């Protein structure tokens, strides 16, 4: 999959960063990274009015060979 902002770079990793705020201070970031299997194929429907494409199908079958 092309990496966001860098179409020449392909990546199967998802990074999520989270900050918390207690009303006074922001926390240090917490990160969650997931590396998806390279053989996994995801099919999306085109972006609708919300702007984000919707996931239609995930094929997790391991190719033979």
Burial class, 36, CB count within 10 angstroms (exposed 0-12 / middle 13-18 / buried 19+): middle
The domain ranges of the chain are: 2-59
Model confidence, pTM: 0.50
pLDDT at 3 over 80: no
pLDDT per residue over 9-25, tens digit each?
677 888 999 999 999 99
In angstroms, the CA 22 to CA 31 distance is 18
pLDDT reported for residue 27: 97
pLDDT per residue over 25-65, tens digit each?
999 999 999 988 878 888 888 877 778 888 899 998 887 87
pLDDT reported for residue 13: 86
């Amino acid at each position: 999959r092309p990496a966001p902002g860098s179409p020449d770079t392909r990546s199967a990793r998802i990074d999520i960063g989270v900050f918390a705020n207690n009303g006074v201070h922001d926390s240090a970031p917490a990160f969650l990274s997931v590396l998806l299997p390279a053989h996994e194929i995801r099919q999306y429907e085109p972006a609708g009015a919300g702007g984000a494409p919707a996931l239609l199908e995930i094929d997790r079958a391991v190719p033979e060979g």
